[in-house]
Amino acid sequence: MNSIQFHKAKITNLIQETPNVKRFVLTFPFEISFKAGQFVMLKFEGLNHQFDTRSYSIAGQINASSIELCVVYKEDGAATPLLFNNKIGDELLSSSPEGRFVLPEEPINKNLFFICTGTGVAPFRCMIKELLLERNHKLPVRLFFGCRKREDLLYQSEFEQLQMDYPNFSYLPVLSRESWDGLTGYVHPHYQKVLETTADALFYLCGWTEMIKETRDNIKNLGYTRQDIKVEFYD
Ligand SMILES: Cc1cc2nc3c(=O)[nH]c(=O)nc-3n(C[C@H](O)[C@H](O)[C@H](O)COP(=O)(O)OP(=O)(O)OC[C@H]3O[C@@H](n4cnc5c(N)ncnc54)[C@H](O)[C@@H]3O)c2cc1C
């Protein structure tokens, strides 16, 4: 932990994406490269908590020296109320990108399932764009994205556009607390239904522990192994 280097990064844009989620654009004084799926650690000096760092997945690259984070406000949290107090022009302390929750470098000959809730969609935004826009991946890519209400959907128009542009990409938002003409309830029955008729899959799961553990158990019960299931826990 002590060996991690922190760099000053300026907040150069802030977007209120949903009522409780903000997108933070961080600009470093140097070019920054990362692999889709990686995260940075932000250091909160003087934080009234055992740990003064918090990790945030990289949700996008804005330009050579700027990345985007997508953070949900936690009312009783130690760090997010401080983070949300920042304005454009303020500086944060950020590590370089790190983490091994990334896509395999070789071509992927499997059906891809990205399953998340809330801001767990952040690393998937980078991974899915890399697959579709850069790697020319042609096999099915499905994003099951659980949230409570329509107002909580993140990057909605962007994912809808990707679905229109790339026929192998399915954007499958699932709302748990609002009825609409899309999928409802929890994500589990929805990916399970697809898996009844789909073999040879690779899974990426991201978000809060409870959802990930349940999903992982369900997938393992279908005969998939650890190698087939990549996870990133947010808590
Ligand atoms: C790899 C990773 C990526 C993440 N990406 C995102 C993201 O893109 N968007 C998002 O909204 N959230 C993300 N999170 C969650 C985020 O790091 C914070 O936990 C969240 O913002 C709440 O922080 P808080 O201080 O407000 O809440 P708090 O409740 O005060 O803290 C959050 C919890 O994390 C634990 N914790 C915090 N830091 C450490 C540490 N260094 N080591 C061990 N435990 C620790 C605390 O004990 C506490 O239980 C990610 C977490 C991880 C691990």
What pLDDT, on the 0 to 100 scale, is given for residue 47?
87
For 127-164, what is each residue's pLDDT tens digit?
999 999 999 999 999 999 999 999 999 999 999 999 99
Inter-residue contact 204 to 124 (CB < 8 Å):
yes
- Gap from CA of 80 to ligand 1 centroid (Å): 9
Q: Give every CB contact of residue 63 below 8 A, 6+ residues apart in sequence.
A: none
Q: What is the mean pLDDT of residues 227-235?
A: 96
For 133-142, what is each residue's pLDDT tens digit?
999 999 999 9
| Residue 172: band (very low, low, confident or very high) from pLDDT cuts 50, 70, 90 | very high
CATH number at residue 11: 2.40.30.10
- Tell me, yes or no, whether 128 and 200 share the same domain: yes
- Tell me, yes or no, whether 82 and 124 share the same domain: no
Q: Longest Cα pair distance anywhere in the chain, in angstroms?
A: 52
Q: Give every CB contact of residue 31 below 8 A, 6+ residues apart in sequence.
A: 64, 65
What pLDDT, on the 0 to 100 scale, is given for residue 19?
95
| Residue 2: band (very low, low, confident or very high) from pLDDT cuts 50, 70, 90 | low
Pocket lined around ligand 1, Cβ cut-off 6 Å = 39, 49, 51, 53-57, 70-72, 74, 77-80, 119, 122, 232, 234-235
Ligand 1 atom index nearest CA of 47: 25
Structure tokens that stand for 80 in this block: 């997010």
Q: What is the mean pLDDT of residues 98-125?
A: 97
| Structural domain boundaries, residue 154 | 111-233
Which of residues 32, 64, 94 is at a domain's end?
94
Provide, rounded to the nearest whole percent, the portion of the chain with pLDDT above 70. 99
